Amino acid sequence: MRETDLVRLLNSVGKSTFVRYYRQFSDRSLSHEDLVDLLPKEYTLKARHTRVSKVRRILDEGLHQQALELIAKSERVDEQTARRARELLNEILRNGC
């Protein structure tokens, strides 16, 4: 997948949403519906389904590390989101996931 496609997927999810719910999104014991129910109700049901589908695609294609790198370097996210993305990246690198 090209980087521009990954950026498009991340923008559909929301970079802060990707980081905030990364652990839950990565938990394969949670169903699509479980994840939809976790997302804020301020998003429409259709928007929550879309976000979960896009995240699962990123994870299924093994692009989670690249996605976190993009978020950590992004100038369009708040510092807390960028810092959390770097923390998650460090955990991935330490654990070899």
Query: For the segment 14-34, what is each residue's pLDDT rounded down to a tens digit?
Result: 999 999 999 999 999 999 999
Q: Decide if pLDDT at 5 tops 80.
A: yes
| Predicted TM-score of the model (pTM) | 0.93
Domain residues for 11?
A: 3-95
Q: What is the mean pLDDT of the chain?
A: 96
| Distance separating alpha carbons of residues 92 and 44, to the nearest angstrom | 31
Angstrom distances, CA of residue 85 to CA of 18, 32, 42, 65, 78:
9, 23, 23, 9, 11
Q: How confident is the model at residue 3 (pLDDT cuts 50, 70, 90)?
A: confident
Q: Give the total number of structural domains in the chain.
A: 1
